[in-house]
């Protein structure tokens, strides 16, 4: 069973460790090596501001990864004008990688934390062009490619994908 719980300060050490794992580091902050204090500062600020919703992904109550959602300010790169809630995620625990969990995690998260807000029409996700495994998982969840462009955030060529809540019959 997939579930999500809010990130708290007690999770910062785990997040710090996950961001050093090679399969996560490959696509998350590749050129940066965060100290624990930097992680603490980054996520403490996000928790206080409340703009980005932060969650720990759980499989049968075991912490396995991280997922976040936020209202994106990049509607134009997603080729729509409506409100888009972006998501970013990774599975940090190696024993849960490449097990086909991506689709289930994403679908559950979309229903509980993205499209639970009726004012949100689209979910958006923006993997790097080279991240074929993630792109395939997002396609299995119904995301469609709408644009490929340079991202000002990760400074990489990015594969912009959206999912319209109408396609989910919500």
Mean pLDDT by 10 residues, the chain (170 residues): 97 96 84 86 95 97 98 90 94 95 95 95 95 93 95 88 86
Q: Any idea what the CATH number is for the domain that residue 80 is in?
A: 3.40.630.30
Instruction: Give pLDDT, residue 117.
Output: 92
SS3 67: strand
Relative to beta strand 122-125, strand 84-91 is: parallel
Instruction: Give pLDDT, residue 155.
Output: 82
Contact 111, 2 (CB under 8 A): no
Kindly provide the residue ranges of all beta strands, DSSP E only, lying in the chain, ordered along the sequence: 2-6, 53-59, 62-71, 84-91, 122-125, 144-150, 157-164
pLDDT tens, residue by residue, 78-126: 999 889 999 999 999 999 999 999 999 999 999 999 999 999 999 999 9
Instruction: Give pLDDT, residue 10.
Output: 97
pTM of the model: 0.93
Full residue range of the structural domain in which residue 41 is found: 2-168
């Amino acid at each position: 069973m997939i579930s999500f719980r809010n990130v708290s300060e007690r999770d910062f050490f785990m997040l710090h460790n996950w961001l050093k794992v090679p399969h996560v580091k490959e696509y998350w902050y590749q050129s940066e090596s965060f100290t624990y204090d930097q992680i603490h500062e980054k996520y403490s600020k996000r928790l206080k501001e409340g703009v980005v919703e932060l969650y720990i992904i759980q499989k049968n109550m075991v912490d396995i990864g991280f997922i976040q959602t936020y209202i994106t300010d990049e509607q134009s790169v997603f080729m729509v004008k409506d409100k888009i809630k972006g998501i970013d995620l990774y599975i940090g625990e190696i024993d849960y990688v490449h097990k086909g969990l991506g689709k289930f995690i994403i679908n559950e998260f979309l229903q509980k934390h993205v499209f639970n807000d009726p004012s949100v029409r689209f979910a958006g996700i923006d993997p790097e062009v080279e991240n074929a495994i993630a792109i395939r998982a997002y396609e299995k969840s119904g995301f469609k490619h709408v644009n490929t462009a340079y991202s000002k955030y990760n400074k990489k060529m990015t594969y912009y994908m959206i999912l319209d809540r109408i396609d989910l019959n919500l």
